[in-house]
Structures are given as structure tokens and as C-alpha cells.
Structure 1
């Protein structure tokens, strides 16, 4: 079965895994997903992720992060969807919960958190919001 929204699928798997209290969730591998997970790991929302390859199929296993039994990710939401893309300039990227959360932005230079995109003065597609 072909996934039409790979980022949306990954976000849903992370959200469902944390609601169930799972330590790990797995998603099919892709460069875009790895780049988004790099940002989530750098910002402290997940512990780590590992990539395993079976023949020609790549799988990413995400170790979810909990603090005192509660998930670190309180809310994760897809912003730009395949049917409705949302773009933002670097000056108009909104802060999430007064800087406690992040937006993940896909720019021409790569995938960055909202803070990094503002520093580098890069705008782009707002992939998701995490808090």
C-alpha cells in the first residue's frame, strides 16, 4: 500500500505510540523522515532513532522519550498537507507556545527547526508543530 503522506503517517505513529506508552515505534525509512527525526532528536523530543535495512526495505525505529512517565511530546500536529501546502517567510514563522515548542520547516537548504530557520533567515514549507 502506498502512503500518500509519509510525514503525516510518521507523526500519527509517534502520537499513537506515546498514547499507548510504547518505548519504540517503527516507520518505513526515507531521507525526509530521517531529516525530521534529526530535528526532533536535536530539540530533545525523542531519545534516538536507528535505521535497519532488510534486503531493499529500510525501517526506522524511533525510541520515544518520557519524563516521569509522561510523554515529552504533548502535541504533534501536521501543518502543511499534500492537498494544502503552507509556506512561511522567515520573519513570519510563529513561535509555538512562546518558544516552548517548535515548528519543523522544510527549506531550500534542508529541514530545520523554526529557531534555526529564523537565524539563517530561511523560509519554507511548515511541515509540523511539536510541543
Structure 2
């Protein structure tokens, strides 16, 4: 079965795995998914990740992160742009997620970066998702 929005599918898998307290999940890999997972790692939302080559298929194995009381570090994920409705933002109009406690992920001409880095570089782009 083909997926019309692979990024939204990846975010739903991460969200669902965090709700039921899975330690790790496997998702199909792509370049943009890898960049989003790298951002999630540097921002501290996931524990670790590894790219696994299985013949012609590439898989991203993501280790989820929990606090001492077994509550997920990821409280929410939301896809902003969809294949049918792209959402773009200028550098001065980038949204803030929970007053700066969350992260917005943007696809720019510099690659996939966070909203903070996009504001520093004074560049806008397509709003991919927000996480808090």
C-alpha cells in the first residue's frame, strides 16, 4: 500500500509508539525523514536512531525517550503542510510553539532546519511539522 504523505505517516507512528510506551520503532527511510529524525535527536525528543540497510530497503530505527516516571518526552506532534495544502512562512512570521518550548521544523533552501535556525539565517520556507 502506498502512502500519500510519508512524513505524516512517520509522525503518526512516532506519536502512537510514544503513547503506548514502545522502546523503539522502525520506519522506512528517506532523506527528508532522516533529516527530521536528526532534528528530533538534537532537540532531545528521541533517544537515538540508526539507519539500517536491508537489501533494497532502508529502515530508520528510532529509540524513544521517556522520563523517570515513564512519561514520553514527546507530548505532541502535528503535521502542518500536507500534499494538498502547502503552508509557507516568511522568516519574520515563523510560528512559536508553546511560547518557545516546542519546535517547528521547516524545509528551506538551506535544508530541513528548526524554526530557531531559520530565524537566525533570516530564511523562510515550508512548515513541515511542530513538536512539543
Q: Does TM-score exceed 0.5, indicating one fold?
A: yes
The residue correspondences of 1:35-74 to structure 2 (distance < 5 A) are 35-68=35-68, 69-74=70-75
Cα distance between partner residues in 1 of 2:124 and 2:48: 27
| Residue aligning to 1:17 | 17
Cα distance between partner residues in 1 of 2:48 and 2:120: 25
State the number of aligned residues.
131
Deviations, residues 56-88 of structure 1 (Å, cap 9, x unaligned): 100101001111210001010100011100000
How much does 1:33 deviate?
0.2
How much does 1:20 deviate?
0.7
- Name the SS for the 2:41 alignment partner: helix
Cα distance between partner residues in 1 of 2:75 and 2:55: 36
How much does 1:4 deviate?
1.1
TM-score w.r.t. length of structure 2: 0.97
Unaligned runs of 5+ in 1: none
Q: Are 1:86 and 2:87 counterparts?
A: yes
- Name the SS for the 2:4 alignment partner: coil
Cα distance between partner residues in 2 of 1:64 and 1:122: 31
Cα distance between partner residues in 1 of 2:4 and 2:103: 24
Cα distance between partner residues in 1 of 2:123 and 2:39: 16
Deviations, residues 12-68 of structure 1 (Å, cap 9, x unaligned): 000000011001011001000000011111111111110111111001010011112
- Name the SS for the 2:49 alignment partner: strand
- Name the SS for the 1:3 alignment partner: coil
How much does 1:90 deviate?
0.7
Q: Runs of 4 or more off by more than 4 Å in structure 1?
A: none
The root-mean-square deviation of aligned C-alpha atoms, in Å, is 0.6
